[in-house]
Amino acid sequence: MDAQHLIKLFQLPAATIDESGVVLLTNSAWDQFEDVVDHAGKEYSSLNRLIRTPFIKKKCQKVWRGKIDFVDYYFRTVKYSHCQLSITKCNDTHLLFQVLPAVDSAVVTENAVDVLESMSEAFFSLDKNWCFTYVNHEAEKLLYKTREELIGKNMWLLFPDAWGTGFEEHYFKTIHDQIPTKFEEYYEPNKSWFDITAYPNRQGGLSVYFRNINDQKEMEKSLWQSANSDHLTGLPNRRYSYELMKEYIDKNQPFTIYFLDLDQFKIINDLYGHDVGDRLIRKIGMRLQKNLPDDMTISRLGGDEYLILVPEQLNQGEVENLGNRIIGMFSNSFVLQDRPEIHVEPSVGVSQYPKDGNLVDILIDKADIAMYEAKKKQLTKAVMYDPVMHESVSRDLIIQQELKKVIERDELDFVYQPQIDSNKNWITGVEVLTRWTHPVLGPVSPAEFIPIAETSGMMEKLTRHQLDWCLSRFAEWIKHFSFDGLIAFNISSGLFRNKNFIAYLEQIITDHKIPFDQIELEITENIQLFSHKESVQTLERLRDLGIRVAIDDFGTGYSTLSYLNQFPVDKIKIDKHFTDQIMTDLKGEAILVSIIKLANSLELDVLAEGVETVEQRDFLKMNGCSDMQGYYYFKPLTLEECEQFYYEKVLKERVPE
């Protein structure tokens, strides 16, 4: 039977089309069928228009190609009668379209309810007056209300806390624009996050699908915290602070950053171990958080570096005041369980946006440069970035690189500062001082390169070279001149926890056959060193061998009075600062006399540094300090000058007044 005769047999609407979509044959019911509405709610004035929709055309192509055998498409008429369009292959040249009888709307509704109740998503529908018309079981659980409490009631009256939130904004947008809206929103009374999709209903109101996403949000929060928080302190980390500064820059919002680096933190780690160092890092973070305003962001960049972000560009006076406040937070020591109190101070550098740059990395670098300037000059204040600081940093980087080659190129020289017994007017020892003359930079002061050597890890290598070179010559002095005085070396306090270095120190003295009691180790005041049990034990073992221990520059560093009676020390060296007070400052003289009396009462040797005048010499002798060094007696001597002096003076065993 051909398609034309087949079509005439259908009483209900029917038609055939070819593969290009052209309608070939229709029956009278097809042409007379009422207006229809598709799934999206769009009206079509005829079935011919409906079957030309992109969705149905794609389905027809699949039937032509044999990918599917038929298509059933459900739609409705304008009068809300539900219909089914069935599409099958009639022959090689025709597709057959049939409109099947209307389905009972009650059956459709019943099936829809079954579907809604079986869904894992929550669902409710609202009429145009915002009253609930349907609520499925899952929605009852998430809304904490039964259907009886919801159906027929106005949503905004039942859930007033949703008014003025994203719920209101998105629901009204959905109805106004007549487009589906998908969003996430937090509902405070239920302490819940929801993922929501709202669809506009043709007759007015909304159909809303939603689900609780608290677990998802907790995971997102955990991932965010992991990515943006410092694992040790819980403070924001480098990534977070960088992103925050980028946001400020994008908004053109001025801000000020304070870059903090802890002074001598490496020594604390060396003395007490990294566990104590970590606990100290946490304590510092807590103290900064407790004492700074909430609008300032305190982050840990890593190591012993912190960043304080102030969301405004402060003037110079404000920068100084806040800097003093920050540094003042470190005036009290930090108390750790089962450990002595630890005192630590920060060096602080400051940069500002937009004054100092418009990129985060540039602003951090400039604050770092300012911080380094504060550290190098030992300034107890916040230092604002200045372009001239770049020259200093560049020189420091050159020095750091050149220090790696200084021994191989034999650029280090050693001079000797004689120590004098003023009563006998005779040399009792020499202090070794290091001099470096670079082929391009010229003379580089120890005050400049020693701190760089300590922070760059070069200190042990330089100290080993100094010991080996100087002790080999000292052995010659003993042999040729019968020199029985001391040779004193300044040793970085950080090396006393280095067991390999201590073993080397003992071995090199033995190798050069020098009596241990002719070696003196000078240590700069350092409360961490003095209070650390293992370091104290190391020094006690060295003293048991006969090596003497002296505290250098006494009175200018940490307060060590409480440790003097238990620390293994033989000598106190009074800093030149106090010697300079003689005949110029009565208070300074009083402090100097007190130090001398303290040393004598503890039966410690005491030596005054920087003696330059006869008045200074006489004052010191009169107050019980007879050991001195300084230009009044000798400037630092080269090896050749020392040997020449002995050739000329050793027989007389005296130096001239």
Contact 490, 528 (CB under 8 A): no
pLDDT at 8: 67
Question: Is the Cα torsion angle 369, 385, 526, 277 positive or negative in sign?
Answer: negative
Residue of 348, 293, 350 whose CA lies nearest to 316: 350
DSSP 612-634: -SHHHHHHHHHTT--EE-STTT-
Q: Which two tokens stand for residue 227?
A: 């990515």
Q: Which residues does residue 197 pair with via DSSP β-bridges, in sequence order?
A: 182, 209
Between CA 457 and CA 240 the distance in angstroms is: 31
Q: Which two tokens stand for residue 214?
A: 């608290």
Between CA 282 and CA 299 the distance in angstroms is: 12
Beta strands at 122-126 and 206-212: parallel, antiparallel or unpaired? antiparallel
Contact 115, 29 (CB under 8 A): no
Contact 348, 326 (CB under 8 A): yes
pTM of the model: 0.54
Between CA 36 and CA 82 the distance in angstroms is: 10
Please name the helix (run of DSSP H) or strand (run of DSSP E) that holds residue 84, with its range, or none: strand 82-89
Residue of 561, 154, 188, 463 whose CA lies nearest to 471: 463
Q: b/e for 249-266, b at 16 or more Cβ within 10 A?
A: beeeeebbbbbbbbbbbb
Question: Is the Cα torsion angle 624, 630, 632, 634 positive or negative in sign?
Answer: positive
What are the start-end ranges of the H helices in 144-237?
147-150, 155-158, 166-177, 214-228
pLDDT in tens, 582-641: 999 888 899 899 989 988 988 899 999 999 999 999 999 999 999 999 999 999 999 889
Q: Which residues does residue 309 pair with via DSSP β-bridges, in sequence order?
A: 257, 297
Q: Match 């907790």 to its residue by tokens.
A: 218
Peptide bond into 354 cis (omega under 30): yes
CA dihedral 552, 555, 559, 560 (to 10 degrees): 50
Instruction: State residue 23 phi and psi, 5-degree precision.
Output: -75, 120
pLDDT at 2: 62
Question: Is the Cα torsion angle 603, 607, 613, 614 positive or negative in sign?
Answer: positive
**Which ranges of the chain have pLDDT less than 70?**
1-9, 39-40, 80, 101-118, 339-340, 525-533, 555-566, 650-657
Apex 295 CA angle, 290 and 301, nearest 5: 70
DSSP 375-413: HHTT-SS-EE--TTHHHHHHHHHHHHHHHTTTTTTT-EE
Query: For residue 7, what are the CA distances in angstroms to 36, 56, 189?
Result: 21, 20, 63
pLDDT at 558: 47
Is 443 exposed, middle or buried (CB count within 10 Å of its CB: 0-12, 13-18, 19+)? exposed
Contact 121, 209 (CB under 8 A): yes
Q: Match 């539900």 to its residue by tokens.
A: 82
Number of H helices, E strands in the chain: 26, 26
Q: Which two tokens stand for residue 205?
A: 């109101």
pLDDT in tens, 194-224: 999 999 887 788 999 999 999 888 887 777 7
Domains of the chain, with CATH numbers? 3-103 (3.30.450.20), 109-216 (3.30.450.20), 230-387 (3.30.70.270), 409-649 (3.20.20.450)
DSSP 507-543: HHHHHTT--GGGEEEEEE--HHHHH-HHHHHHHHHHH
Beta strands in 201-304 (DSSP E): 206-212, 255-262, 297-302
Between CA 539 and CA 39 the distance in angstroms is: 90
pLDDT at 195: 93
CA 600 to chain centre: 50
DSSP class of residue 74 equals E
One-letter identity of residue 109: T
Cβ neighbours for 63, distance < 8 A, ≥ 6 positions apart: 69, 70, 71, 87, 88, 89, 95
Between CA 632 and CA 612 the distance in angstroms is: 4
Residue of 295, 293, 588 whose CA lies nearest to 608: 588
Q: Which residues does residue 186 pair with via DSSP β-bridges, in sequence order?
A: 193
pLDDT in tens, 328-338: 999 888 888 77
pLDDT at 218: 83
Between CA 138 and CA 120 the distance in angstroms is: 7
pLDDT at 447: 86
